Homo-oligomer: A and B are copies of this chain.
Amino acid sequence: MGTAASGRSKAESPSKGDRTRESILRVAVDLASVEGLEGLTIGRLADELSMSKSGLFAHFGSKEDLQLATVAAAREIFAEHVLRPALTVEAGVPRLWALCENWIQYIEGKVFKGGCFFAAASFEFDSRSGPVRDAIAAAMKEWLGALTRAVDVAIREKHLKASIDSHQFALEIYSLPIGAHCGFQLLEDKKALKHIRTSILARIQSVATATCPQVKIRR
């Protein structure tokens, strides 16, 4: 996957071209989170980086390639901030809650300039077709899958009641922060993130067993 600009394959030190590409994508991700993936134009991106359009374009074969590379870069940033830190947390409800907390902090901390890259991209491409839409859908499925797995594990660990439907429950946990994002970013409701933290925690506790470890809102 990716355009594999350089021929290197092992963990050699990145070439200058690789580093340029990386710095382009870091800016692209921020720009796309504000302007959208379609509004991410090669001209504006080149301007922002003080380089020529064609110089930038040499790193990507087409606009679609640039979009795909931007989605991949955003996915890596999401994994770094939300998914991977949760894997170090105790399996079961503590890990499920860590995923939620990480997601909310990643919004609160404005990891992307324009709020959640994937929330924006999801709604921008949800009625289109093609490779970019597929890449976004794959990323969201990964996230929903991670939540579902965390719920399943929490059931297996007897932290959550076995009677719940893990798919349905995961979809709830998936939905609440998206709504909070909307409240926070568009409606400028300063309480939205706090409210949704409370809602998710209460929802988890409503289906927790007596042997479930305590979880609480991070301070």
Residues of chain A having any CB pair with chain B under 8 Å = 33-34, 36, 38-39, 113-115, 119-120, 122-128, 133, 136-137, 140-141, 144, 165, 167-168, 171-172, 174-183, 185-189, 191-192, 195-196, 198-199, 206
**Shortest Cβ gap from A152 to chain B (Å):** 16
- A116 vs chain B, min Cβ distance (A): 9
For residue A96, give the distance in angstroms from its CB to the closest CB of chain B. 16
Nearest 5 A/B pairs, CB to CB: A175-B179, A114-B127, A126-B186, A126-B185, A168-B195
- A137 contact set on B, CB distance < 8 A: 186-188
Are B115 and A182 in touch, CB under 8 angstroms? no
Once the chains bind, are B113 and A185 in contact (CB under 8 Å)? no
Q: Give Cα distance in the complex from A53 to B40, angstroms.
A: 25
Q: Measured between C-beta atoms, what is the minimum distance from A91 to chain B in Å?
A: 24
User: Quick check: B187 and A141 within 8 Å, CB to CB?
Assistant: yes
A36-B38, A172-B176, A196-B175 as given contacts; A122 in contact with B191, CB under 8 Å? no
Q: Which residues of B contact A175 (CB under 8 A)?
A: 175-180, 182, 196
- B182 pairs with A122, CB closer than 8 A: yes
**Alpha-carbon distance A62/B99, docked complex (angstroms):** 44
- Chain B residue contacts of A199, Cβ below 8 A: 168, 171-172
How distant is the Cα of A185 from the Cα of B187 in the complex, in angstroms? 23
Q: Which residues of B contact A125 (CB under 8 A)?
A: 186
How far is A165 from B36 in the complex, measured between Cα atoms in Å? 35
- Residues of the B chain whose Cβ atoms lie less than 8 Å from the Cβ of A167: 191, 195
